[in-house]
Amino acid sequence: GGGNVLQGGAGADRFVLADGAWRGGAANVVTDFQPGVDKLVFGGGALVGSNQPVFTNVAGGTKVELGTAHLATLVGVSSSQLNSSLDVIGQSGSLVSPLANRYSDVAVLWGGITQLG
């Protein structure tokens, strides 16, 4: 879901903001995005045709929107510092589905273990 505070580590970071139709819930807050170094990732074909991220200056940073969804606020970053060709990655494959499948596998395994106990 959304509503998280995201902070990268040293060096280049990737922040996944959308995956296909998934947009999370409330907007995330990215505290240390470095334009030209870090990347905003949109997986699952979220960036199709004219569906591209929009960057708008707000108090304290930049709001990132996709369609009507406010996905994140980049703290301390001006929209003029962002360049979609450098700071945005669009991937056709889903980033969330493989994780959901693994979570399901773990849940099934855990259910089998608890029945044995």
CA distance 39 to 95: 15
Contact (Cβ atoms closer than 8 angstroms) between residue 109 and residue 59 = no
Task: Pick the more confident residue, 90 or 117.
Answer: 90
Averaged pLDDT score across all residues of the chain: 81
The model's pTM is 0.77
Q: Select from 24, 32, 28, 42 the least CA-distant residue to 88.
A: 42
82 phi, psi to nearest 5 deg: -95, 140
* DSSP-based three-state secondary structure for 55: strand
Parallel, antiparallel, or unpaired: how do β-strands 61-66 and 69-75 relate? antiparallel
pLDDT tens for residues 4-49? 898 998 899 999 887 666 666 688 899 999 999 999 988 887 787 7
pLDDT tens for residues 82-112? 999 999 988 877 766 555 555 555 555 556 5
